[in-house]
Structure 1
Amino acid sequence: MRRIVWVAIAFWVVTVIATGGLAGRLGGAEKNDATTWLPKSAESTKVSELTGKFIGTDVYPAIVVYDRGDAVSSEAARARAEADAIRFGTLPQVRGPVASPVVSDDGKAIQVVVPISVGDKGVTGALPTVKSIREIVSDTGMSVHVTGPAGYGADSADAFSAVNSTLLYVTIAIVIVILLVTYRSPVLWLLPLLCVGVALTVAQGLIYLLAAHAGLTVNSDTEFLLTVLVFGAGTDYAILLTARYREELRRTENRYTAMITAIRRAGPAIAASAVTVALSLLCLVVADLNSTKSLGPVMATGVLVSFAVLTTLYPALLVMCGRWIFWPVAPRFGNPEHGNGRQGRSLERLISSHPRRVWQVTAAILAFLALGLFGLHASGLRAQDTFRTRPDAVVGEQLLLEHFPGGSGDPAQIIGPASEADRLRELAAGVPGVVTVSMPVQVDGLVYLEATTADTTGSDAAFATVKHLRSAVHAVPGAMVGGSSAVALDTQASARHDRNLVVPLVLSVVLVVMAILLRALVAPALVLATVVLSLAAALGVSAVVFDRILGFAGADPSFPLWAFVFLVSLGIDYSIFLMARIREETANHDTAAATVIAMRTTSGTITAAGVVLAGTFAALLTLPLVFAAEIGFAVAFGVLLDTFVVRTVLMPALAIDLGDRLWWPQRPKGDIRNSLIHNMIQPSIMVESE
């Protein structure tokens, strides 16, 4: 055993050294261009590929908006804007000449559209040029802002820069505090934190290799979600293994023997948890959206690496350190295990005495909370609604809307046969919501036009205009409509397709894994039903919080699916641990007695694990992005709901009420006739059935 300990430590030291350099390069492999997230079959994707013939597929406009106000004359304002436009054209990433400034009809604002080439970095690659533009206009004497796709891309990149600093530090701080409270040791928390750091580094290195050489699409969203998932899942595995190891140290004098027993007893449940999460996440590979499709392999890699590190390196470090690592409350051989406190025993008596009434009331409360789902608006967010703060791009867009048509600088793009150029222009100009249509540009038998819309990019009105525009130009065979609003519209359609496909697939995978683990059919179906009910309640409460308290304008189309996958795969963990322990105890007790024993032995551990996981996802609330805050709140609240309601109340009540029927078609074998605990609690359990 001692030799295995040193082999495990040496293996992970070598692995970290090999992948450490690759992990730091993951950010450079990100693709944050929305068009790269859509499938190749999407109309807006096809248009994006063809626009390379005219303006380049990597070109995004930055819209510089001058608010003249009353301090500067119109002649001076226009002269300054013209001078700035010339300077903009000299910047390295600016593609082609910068058009002359356009004065609003009311004469109070001026806009200059600057085409920026971002290369293969996506729209967030516009950050350096946007910074340079903002420096140029900083001394104009007017209020000047940079917005448009490039402006928003730059501000998004700036916001995501907090992922590798603020988010990481907040997550580490949350984990440290919870581990200190859980372990009541000033040193033990160092081991799980060290192992989680190893897991994150190795996972990031492997994911970089997949992104660089296997075509995996990685973006900023998946990177920050990977961080919190590895910290949450890895720490959970550490807490669960430590609890069983501590339990065995009281029964066994030799710490190596205690660890072997702990791994043999707790390992199957931890493995089932990791496999359930990984397989559930891998179901996302069937999705249409590349951003969703890539989330599966990225997160599954993080979970499996965390499982490998926390079940090999972490046990090795624990046994190497010895019992002193638990100081000042080190477990001693022969000392009894502490059970639940007074409140825990009271809850046990309540559930044991009235299981049916308890689970019916609990289920009704969760169903009531789920009613909030009807208020969840996941049809997408306008660019200005994606931030929780007011960056320069948001201020600029609001100024732009006051003086120019909503689609200024970010028009709908129309491509069709060059022979139909005049007809396409006529059809587009006749669509309600279209303000102007540019003169056709023809290349290689194709024609390119831009239609400026009256409404803000990404708004419902802009979506309606795109639909009408497509309906009109599709009269010309081969004609297509793209642009930012079209991309958002196609993203909505793909998100709906993905939800309808992935949700039943994930539920099926979870049911199969649970059936294999528990070797039963009723118990897995029951667990799955409770988790789905908990998910609905969590999303219902989240919808109310987003709308009434946080004031968000809505949710990203991918939010329901991502929340579903995280909550089902992660939330079911605690039910797995509880049910696995119940099944283990049924070897010597009936199901009702086994349930009480499992509640007593797993209560503190699972509670700590749930709080850690919820805390790591809650760290996403520190980011200034609506999508991150929504995922963070929904998953954190859902995990707490699973921890304190489903695992603590609902599942035990259902298990006691059903009794041995829970294990249909075959009850676990064992002799319960001489069980002391069975004889003690059986009278109270029978009250409800009588």
Structure 2
Amino acid sequence: MRAHRDQLSLFFVEHFDHRTNNFPLARLVGHRRSLVVLLVGIALSGLVFAFAPEPTTGSEAGSNLPDTAEAARASEALAALPDAGEAPAFIVFSREDGRLSEQDLGAIAQRTHDLAQELEVQASPPIPAETGDVALVTLPVESGLTSDENSQIVDTIREAASTDLPDGLSAQVTGAPAVFADLGEVFSGADTRLLLVTASVVALLLIITYRSPWLWIVPLAVIGIGDRVAAEVLETFSAWADFPVDGSITGITSVLVFGAGTNYALLLIARYREELRRHESRHSAMRFAVGAAAPAILSSSGTVVLGLLALLIADSPFVTRIGMAGAIGIVVAVFFALVVLPAAMTLPGRWLFWPFVPRFGDEDPSHRGWWHGVGRAVTRRPWPVLITSLAVLIAMAVGTLSLRTGLGQSEQFLDTPESIQAQETLSDAFPAGTSSPTRIATTPEHLDAVVQAANEVDGVDRATPAEASDSVAEVSVVLGEEPESDAAIATIRDLRSALDEADPDALVGGTDAEAVDERDTAAHDRQLVIPIVLAIVLAMLLILLRSVVAAVLLAASTVLSYLSALGVGWLLFDHVIGWTAMDVSTPLLAFIFLVALGVDYNIFLTARAREEMRATGDATESIVTALAVTGGVITSAGVLLAAVFAVLGVLPLVLLAQLGVVVGVGVLLDTVVVRSIVTPALVRLCGKRFWWPSALGR
């Protein structure tokens, strides 16, 4: 048996020498070349750090509303009105221990007068609620400001409104300017927290994986620098292309770079350690490792990049920005993993792996390890194993049948900021939609008919004429339901239908109307993007594996694990955490990350199985050996990627927390169930036909 393995190892060395030594990236490895490559990589990184401009930021960076949506067109039409450059901020004065006294109302009036003078605007007089414990003041704030300018004004309002109030009287600020300011505030310092937590998680898992006191430092340092370079490249692209970014976009990009980059690093280092047992020269070992691992890594990363770029055809601006930003991040991660990391790994020598140093001529322990036993067990009884695994995955996917999307405005934050607390206080004393009125754009000729039609819609508290010009008239509508709730969404749809007769050209806008259009846009994007991404995944698998059977089965199993993760995630959110819905972007982004990233593990496994198949011609032995050799590293990569996505929970948005949970669960299912059990069972049952119509299938 030992003699057979030695002959097999010799066959691999002789058979693959020419291919790996001539792979372009493998030629960058050498005694002097590695040092040059490392220095060039450091120099390029320094140039990026030194000359990257400031990014374009704005409150619209995270918007799911396309310009063609009715709410966006309504906003554009109303921009022609004299006061269109203003957005209302609402100051909510409240007393929990009783009704507002005359002294309270006098203090509120004084605060309002002082604020109006300081900001040089016209504020409304205080409006007491019927309950007597809340008063409302409306203050116009200039719209179209930068995030910092808007936050400055909101901070000024909050500070001035809370100054010198009687004991027990509190002031809270809400409205669109306050919500945008709070959104910016919750991301303050979030990038640093995300980087520190992500780096700590990666470092811990690398130490556990390699059981070496210093080996983990090299890949972590390389990928960490790559993450910062990706962030600077994204900011440069943002400035040059007028491409707004915010904390959610940069956070997701950072997680992609760390997760994917570390995955590629793990695969490369595992192959390098394997080749060190076959080659006396560490540079020769790394050349062979790069030549053997790079095709799978490039195929995998190419699938991810193309999948992310497919998001550019989506209508949602936030989704398209995630696609472009993520693609930039993955390209940078691949460069550092396949160009800089090999150079950094070869400079120290074999001692980097201490205390488990791979020696030339040592037997590869993976051929008799735990994963070899798993492969034998699965291929010995493939039908029971496959049926059980598929039954478990399908049972998990059942949860998607009750899935709901569309979070209300008050549900989008993990920690409730002041603007949302003020909305809740306001909705208890006034009609729920007071803080975010619906705005209808019509013409002066149709104004009365539109007001009458709007007032007849169930769920509308009141509709009143607002500003008007020669060509445009605005109707302000206050709904009786919580902003962006399912009831408010239904009212907006009814309102739009009711206006078809009053004014077929009327446009309904405002926060609730935007939520309706965002849900419709998300549904359209899923129907458009998902088939294209599936076609990309199938095409990349066909190019790499040259097998129709393998490509279809691997893609189908990955999609099933995505549905299972989505089902488990929804049941967790709905029954355990208590979230009423998923964010509209979560299902599509989770699909892209899970199908594009999840297929990585099947690519790594089957690419190695194909390599073994060419040597032995035995489909079962090839998948058992491939699982034995790659099982440990792929499992480590999957656990690490799941943990990195879970770190998104450090950021303050429910969208990111949901995305982290769904992708984390999906990656673990891909790693533990699909790659370790389903794929080997399928190969065993299909035999050589798994590789049809390539030569291996014949």
Question: In structure 1, how many angstroms separate the alpha carbons of the residues matched to 2:622 and 2:117?
Answer: 75
Q: Distance in 1 between matches of 2:202 and 2:510?
A: 43
Name the CA shift for 1:81/1:24 in 2 (closer, same or farther; >3 Å): farther
Output the amino acid matched with 2:640: V
- 1:128 pairs, out of 149, 152, 155, with 152
Percent sequence identity over matched residues? 37
Aligned to 1:5: 34
Per-residue CA distance 1:507-551 (angstroms, 9 max, x = gap): 000000000000111001010011011111111100110011111
**Is residue 174–residue 419 contact of structure 2 (8 Å, CA) maintained in 1?**
yes
The answer to whether the 8 Å contact 2:49/2:229 transfers is yes
User: Which has the larger displacement, 168-177 or 82-91?
Assistant: 82-91
Q: Secondary structure at the match of 1:451?
A: strand
2:256 aligns with 229
Greater mean deviation of Cα atoms: 78-87 or 289-298: 78-87
Q: What SS does the corresponding residue of 1:145 show, helix, strand or coil? A: strand
Bigger shift: 323-332 or 498-507? Answer: 323-332
Aligned counterpart, 2:547: 520
Q: Could you tell me which amino acid in structure 2 is paired with residue 298 of structure 1?
A: A
- In structure 1, the residue matched to 2:127 is 102
Give the alignment of 1:616-635 within 5 angstroms: 616-635=644-663
Aligned counterparts, 1:139-538, within 5 A: 139-140=164-165, 141=167, 142-339=169-366, 343-378=370-405, 380-475=406-501, 476-538=503-565
TM-score scaled to structure 1, two decimals?
A: 0.92
The question of whether the paired residues in 1 share the 8 Å contact of 2:100 and 2:134 is answered with no
Describe the superposition over 1:189-240 as per-residue Cα deviations: whole angstroms up to 9, x where unpaired: 1221221122222222222232222243433322110011111011111111
Helix, strand or coil at the partner of 2:59: coil
Structure 2, unpaired ranges of 5+:
1-29
1:582 correspondence with 2:609: yes
218-227 or 285-294, which deviates more? 218-227
| Distance (Å, rounded) in 1 between the aligned partners of 2:96 and 2:254 | 46
**3-state DSSP class of the match of 1:439?**
strand
Instruction: Write the distance in 2 (CA, Å) between the matches of 1:224 and 1:91.
Output: 37
CA distance in 1, matches of 2:677, 2:63: 45
- Provide the C-alpha distance between the structure 2 equivalents of 1:495 and 1:360, rounded to a whole number of angstroms: 34
The change in CA–CA distance for 1:135 and 1:347 in structure 2 (over 3 A counts) is: same
Contact 1:463 1:489 in 2 (8 A): yes
- Secondary structure of the residue aligned to 1:457 is coil
**Counterpart residue type for residue 600 of structure 1:** A
Label 1:165 to 1:12 Cα distance change in 2 as closer, same or farther (>3 A): same
Distance 2:438 2:548 in 1: 53
Partner of residue 598, structure 1: 626
Closer, same or farther: CA 150–55 of 1 in aligned 2, 3 Å: farther
Secondary structure at the counterpart of residue 440 of structure 1: strand
Query: Partner of 1:682 in structure 2?
Result: none
Match in the other structure for 2:138: 113
Distance (Å, rounded) in 2 between the aligned partners of 1:624 and 1:440: 36
SS of alignment partner, residue 248 of structure 1: helix
How far did residue 320 of structure 1 move? 1.4
Residues 324-345 of structure 1 show CA distances to partners (whole Å, capped at 9, x for unaligned) of 2222222211222222776434
Deviation of 1:154 after TM superposition, in Å, equals 2.2
For the residue of structure 2 that corresponds to 1:216, the secondary structure is: coil
d(CA) in 2 for partners of 1:57, 1:266: 58
| Letter paired with 1:100 | P
Deviation at 1:76, TM superposition (A): 1.7
| TM-score normalised by length of structure 2 | 0.91
Shift of 1:587: 1.4
Contact 1:103/1:110, CA 8 A, preserved across alignment: yes
SS in 2 for 1:441: strand
How many corresponding residue pairs?
A: 664
Give the one of 638, 641, 659 matched to 2:669.
641
| 2:3 aligned partner | none
Moved more, 589-598 or 473-482: 473-482
For 1:637 and 1:492, locate their aligned partners in 2 and report how far apart those are by CA, in whole Å: 25
Letter in 1 for 2:326: M
> Deviation of residue 21 (structure 1)?
4.5
| Unmatched 5+ stretches in structure 1 | 671-690
CA distance, structure 2, for counterparts of residue 91 and residue 321 of structure 1: 64
Q: 1:90 to 1:338 in 2, by over 3 A?
A: farther
Alpha-carbon distance between aligned partners in 2 of 1:198 and 1:572, rounded to the nearest angstrom: 26
Which amino acid in 1 is paired with 2:410? Q
CA distance in structure 1 between the partners assigned to 2:597 and 2:110 by the alignment = 57
The answer for the alignment partner of 1:558 in structure 2 is 585
Distance 2:671 2:556 in 1: 16
Q: Distance in 1 between matches of 2:315 and 2:442?
A: 25
User: What displacement does 1:478 show?
Assistant: 2.8
Note if contact 2:34-2:344 (Cα within 8 Å) is conserved in structure 1.
yes
Q: Report the aligned-residue RMSD.
A: 2.1
Query: For 1:632-662, what per-residue CA distance to the aligned partner results, in whole angstroms no more than 9, with x for missing partners?
Result: 0000111011111111111111111111010
Q: What SS does the corresponding residue of 1:388 show, helix, strand or coil? A: coil
Structure 1 pair 58/605, CA: closer, same or farther in 2 (3 Å)?
farther
| Alpha-carbon distance in structure 2 between the residues aligned to 1:488 and 1:648 | 42
Letter in 1 for 2:179: Y
